[in-house]
Every structure is written in C-alpha cells, then in structure tokens.
Amino acid sequence: MLDGLWAEGNNACMLCYWDKIAKTDFAVGQSGYCGNPTSWRGEMTVRNSSRPIARVFRATAAPGCRNELLEKFHSSSATLVNSKVGCLKYRILEPVDASASEVVFESIWRDLDAIKAAFGDAWQQSYLPEGYSALMTAYSVQHFLVSESSIAK
C-alpha cells in the first residue's frame, strides 16, 4: 500500500513524500500538511500546466465492499470523467492479490486547466459521488505530471 507511506498510523503521507523527492515538478506551499491526505491544506502550483496530468484516486475498500466499489468505478466514475471535456482516458486498477483492499481510479487529463474546469475550486480534493463513502475506509487523490513518452506509442 504505497510502500507504507499512506498506511493507517503512519505519519508520512504521499504528498509529504512527493514534496521531498520531486520538487522539480511541484512547488508545495508551507501552510501545513500532515500524514492524512484528506486534511492537506498546502498550495500546489504546477509549473507547466500545458502537460498532461494524471489524477490518481486511491481507495481502501471497506471489508466486503471491494467488488461493489469497483462496480461504481466502472459505472458512475467512468461516466463522470467521460462526460468532462479534457479527459483523455481513464484506467481502473485493482491488485492482483484478490484479498487486497486498495483500488485505484486513474484519469489522464489534457492539462491542469481541464482538471480545474471539471472539478472547480475543489480540484485538489477527492470527489465522491453519492454512495461511495460507505464503501471505503480511506481514500486520497493526487495529481502527477505525465511524461509525454508514456502517453502514446
């Protein structure tokens, strides 16, 4: 699970980790953030908003809810991103280990402006359609610049 960075009880969140290893792509504000990705309040500025952006939503399914959460990803999450201008593609990722509870919904966007247009001022926060929160025990959303060589072959 994120190499232990996001596990319950751990004080390091993915954003803290990312800030330490990849300052070249993101400038993270110092207004404070902690081990809980949902409580992060720093400011993030992407230097080159014309590059494609990956929006990565990670969720830990509640016990017995993994399949239902994946079904929601395939239906309502897919419908949502497909309805937004600027979404280039999406992928739903589930672990090979059938007993693992983390699932991922990744969408690739034309640029940061497309994400902001789709999600508004709350673009840095997780968007949860109705019925999602009861299916999860934890979740987060992060944004990553996409290398051009990884977009198409």
Tally of domains in the chain: 1
- Phi, psi torsion values for 39, nearest 5 degrees: -105, 5
Beta bridge pairs of residue 61: 136
Quick check: helix, strand or coil at residue 20? helix
Confidence at residue 23, expressed as pLDDT on a 0 to 100 scale: 32
Scanning the structure block, which residue is given the tokens 């739903």? 92
Q: Please provide the DSSP assignment of 100-116 as one string.
A: --EEEEEEEES-HHHHH
CATH of the domain at 81: 3.30.70.100
pLDDT tens-digit readout, 39-76: 444 555 555 568 999 999 999 999 999 999 999 999 99
| Mean pLDDT in residue range 7-23 | 37
Residue 107 near residue 87 (C-beta atoms within 8 A): yes
Residue 72 near residue 131 (C-beta atoms within 8 A): yes
pLDDT tens-digit readout, 76-135: 999 999 999 999 999 999 999 989 999 999 999 999 999 999 999 999 999 898 889 999
Domain coverage including residue 99? 2-150
